[in-house]
Amino acid sequence: MSVPDLSSYAERWNRRHLLDLESLSADEITILLDVAQALKDATQGCRRKLSLLTGKTCANLFFENSTRTRNSFSLAAKRLGADTVEFGSAGSSTAKGETFADTAKTIEAMGVDWVVTRHSTPGTPNLLARELGCCVLNAGDGPHEHPTQGLLDLLTIRQHREVLEGLTVALVGDIAHSRTARSNIWGLRKLGAHVIICGPPTLVSPRWQELGFEVAHHLDEILPRCDVLNLLRIQFERQDARPFPSVHEYAALYAMNGARMKQAKDNILIMAPGPINRGVEITPEVADGPHSVILEQVTNGIAVRMSALYLLSAADDRFANSAVDPT
């Protein structure tokens, strides 16, 4: 496969870490999306290999479960010719009392260029960015952010609608515990979309309104205006108390189902970060229906992770012998 010339993007990129979308500019997010699209095209839909990062090594340090993010980071690194190291907390020396930072430093000392980390504690990627010398990518830190999920959602919308500016995008469900919601909220706003944050009052803070976002508690009231729905899973594992009387009542008010599809725009995009709970936030007929782009989101996960690995590595190489202090 021929390697695309991405040097003009790399020259405009100055970060060695990807920790969140809140701190990125619209220009930086656009660079990440443009490179992701170029790499997706050059790898024939993320299926073929390019020799772009040969000789580099990516370590996946996952302290929480993952199917999509972990495997797609691994595939993204391999598609660009890099090696991977897979670390799972189960069976590791963390059970013997080793700290998170010491574990990460130990893996880094084996000669890795990127550490991809997922942890239940917000801020853990920022800690590693201070402690380690290599590039750090946040693969989800508790309910804080999941920047590559936000990017793959933006890329998927862009592929269907070309521009995000002016689109109305609703994030529906468990906003309070969703790192995907937070990364989408910042990314969508920066690219000019109108964001509606929708869910039960127990799962949507009124502070989003103070920050200038539209907040809604009734899906049926906002549905006819939406170009895109992103349906978030109820994260029972992060909740101390049940935020609604029953799953049945939640589904009656917020699940996207066949009857609600009749109230939606003809070209509405149905998205979900996954894993999905069929019958809770989305019914099978909608999840598997013609408006659903859920599996396209999965493929785009490889594209945006290839983009992030490439751009961070390019900045790292550029700054390696430079007096400039990179971000």
User: Considering the rule CB under 6 A, would residue 147 count as an interface residue with ligand CP?
Assistant: no
| Closer residue to ligand CP in complex, CB, 9/73 | 73
Residue 286, token pair as written in the block = 């909608």
**Residue that has been written with the tokens 């989305």 in this structure:** 282
**Segment lying near ligand CP (by CB under 6 A), choices 62-70, 214-222, 245-253, 319-327:** 62-70
Please, what is the minimum distance in Å from the beta carbon of residue 146 to ligand CP? 6
**Segment lying near ligand CP (by CB under 6 A), choices 3-11, 30-38, 40-48, 60-68:** 60-68
Q: Establish whether the linkage from the previous residue to 245 is cis, with ω within 30° of 0.
A: no
Please, what is the minimum distance in Å from the beta carbon of residue 201 to ligand CP? 25
User: Considering the rule CB under 6 A, would residue 120 count as an interface residue with ligand CP?
Assistant: no
User: Considering the rule CB under 6 A, would residue 23 count as an interface residue with ligand CP?
Assistant: no
Please, what is the minimum distance in Å from the beta carbon of residue 68 to ligand CP? 4
Task: Candidates 67, 120, 267, 327: give the one binding ligand CP (CB under 6 A).
Answer: 67
Q: 59-76 b/e with 16+ CB inside 10 Å = b?
A: bbbbbbebebbbebbbbb
User: Considering the rule CB under 6 A, would residue 125 count as an interface residue with ligand CP?
Assistant: no
User: Considering the rule CB under 6 A, would residue 66 count as an interface residue with ligand CP?
Assistant: yes
**Segment lying near ligand CP (by CB under 6 A), choices 65-73, 124-132, 208-216, 248-256:** 65-73
| Closer residue to ligand CP in complex, CB, 6/69 | 69
- Positions marked active-site: 68-69, 96, 118, 146
| Closer residue to ligand CP in complex, CB, 201/275 | 275
The contacts of residue 269 (CB under 8 Å, 6+ apart) are 156, 157, 160, 161, 227, 228, 229, 291, 293
Please, what is the minimum distance in Å from the beta carbon of residue 273 to ligand CP? 4
| Closer residue to ligand CP in complex, CB, 68/189 | 68
The contacts of residue 182 (CB under 8 Å, 6+ apart) are 22, 143, 144, 145, 146
Nearest CA among 194, 190, 236 for reference residue 216: 194
In sign, the C-alpha dihedral spanning 154, 319, 63, 77 is positive
**Segment lying near ligand CP (by CB under 6 A), choices 17-25, 234-242, 250-258, 271-279:** 271-279
CA distances from 28 to 23, 34, 232 (A): 10, 10, 26
Q: What is the largest CA-CA distance in the chain?
A: 61
| Closer residue to ligand CP in complex, CB, 6/287 | 287
User: Considering the rule CB under 6 A, would residue 149 count as an interface residue with ligand CP?
Assistant: yes
User: Considering the rule CB under 6 A, would residue 273 count as an interface residue with ligand CP?
Assistant: yes
**Segment lying near ligand CP (by CB under 6 A), choices 100-108, 156-164, 272-280, 305-313:** 272-280
Of residues 158 through 187, those in contact with ligand CP by CB under 6 A are: none
Please, what is the minimum distance in Å from the beta carbon of residue 122 to ligand CP? 15
| Closer residue to ligand CP in complex, CB, 140/200 | 140
User: Considering the rule CB under 6 A, would residue 106 count as an interface residue with ligand CP?
Assistant: no
| Closer residue to ligand CP in complex, CB, 67/106 | 67
- The residue ranges that bind ligand CP (CB under 6 A) are 66-69, 140, 146, 149, 273-275
